[in-house]
Amino acid sequence: MLSDLPIRKIIHVDMDAFYASVAQMDNPELKGKAIAVGGGGDRGVISAASYEARKFGVKSAMSGRLAIKLCPDLIFVRTDFERYKEISNRIRKIFFDYTDLVEPLSLDEAYLDVTENKIGLPSATLIAKKIRQRIFDEVGLTASAGISINKFIAKVASDYNKPNGQKTVNPEDVLQFLEDLDIRKFYGVGKVTAEKMYQKGIFTGKDLKSKSLEYLETHFGKSGKYYYYVVRGIHTSEVKPNRIRKSLAAERTFSENLSSEIFMLEKLDHIADEVAKRLAKSKVSGKTVTLKIKYSDFTLQTRSKTLPYFVSEKAIILDTAKDLLYQEKLNNSVRLLGISLSNLNTDKKALAQKIADKDKKTVSVQLKFEF
């Protein structure tokens, strides 16, 4: 039962069109114009689009070629991750003025647990407003926020009044909110899963809630249990301030498709070099090397090998990636290659943190309290 669970005050802050907004802030001439970050050239893929561009159907992961057809006046700008990191760090410092329980999901979004907060304000809704106002005043960007009893509902709610808005789902409104929710808005339900649910007559949270746990596990596997509980407002994952890196990767999209492994060796050398640099910067190493291959028809394939020891040296990573490349015949010409290292030595820290978390006592809060 939802009423038996500890109720937290969770805020999900999501920056509005972050990469594009940073570009517009840094170059006032771009304000109010349709811009896309990345995507330039014949093979480019868009990383982000301004809201002006989104009106034309331009969105992230879309090819620049298609985007320019949808929006002929589209302006392409280069990505600048160092600048994004700088801005993201400034925003995070604002978060820490309110709580130490901050869990970054990416450069432009994070969860905050403000059940107990540094300013002693009982209303999570007011805290979210203060945070969004400070981001605007001190950084110059707008943010949206979702506020509710757990991470799942807060994340869904943050998308409701974008851009530059927020939505609170109070404890007593949670179940109705979830029942009314379009299945496509459930975090974790992608396009393919949504289509499968439609075929089974599941269009809203209410439809999903009518299905038994056994039914959902039969038709949706392990995810079925997740769907069963979240539609009932049950999502017990805590805000974890010390997220442990699970993998580190680098990849390259080519200007022309590559049809032979021989032509890919030089590309892999550059990618392995980048991975090694990132490992050195992060001071981590790993055991599992994964080769990512995206073919010209956009199908994706991964090949992995786990080594008996931790590695971070370019030579070993490159040799392993080469072995994986020659492991089996290519299915088609290749447009992208990537190398990632997982099973990192940080996993030991994660285990230690997990054990420590079990020793913590969860404070149960009354169901009705100020949000």
Separation CA 170–CA 224 (nearest Å): 26
CB atoms within 10 A of CB 169: 22
Separation CA 19–CA 24 (nearest Å): 9
| β partners of residue 75 | 35
Q: Quick check: 232 and 2 in contact, CB under 8 A? A: yes
3-state helix, strand, coil in the chain (%, to 5): 40, 25, 35
Helix or strand run (H / E) with residue 173: none
Which of the residues 103, 109, 217, 251 is marked catalytic? Answer: 109
Look up 109 and say whether it is catalytic: yes
Q: Which residues fall within 8 angstroms of residue 195, CB to CB, at 6 or more apart? A: none
Q: Quick one: which of 228, 220, 7 has its CA closest to 124?
A: 7
Q: Quick check: 165 and 144 in contact, CB under 8 A? A: yes
Helix (DSSP H) and strand (DSSP E) numbers for the chain: 14, 12
Reduced to 3 states (helix: H, G, I; strand: E, B; else coil), residue 231 is coil
User: Which residue's structure tokens are 């170059």?
Assistant: 27
Catalytic residues: 109
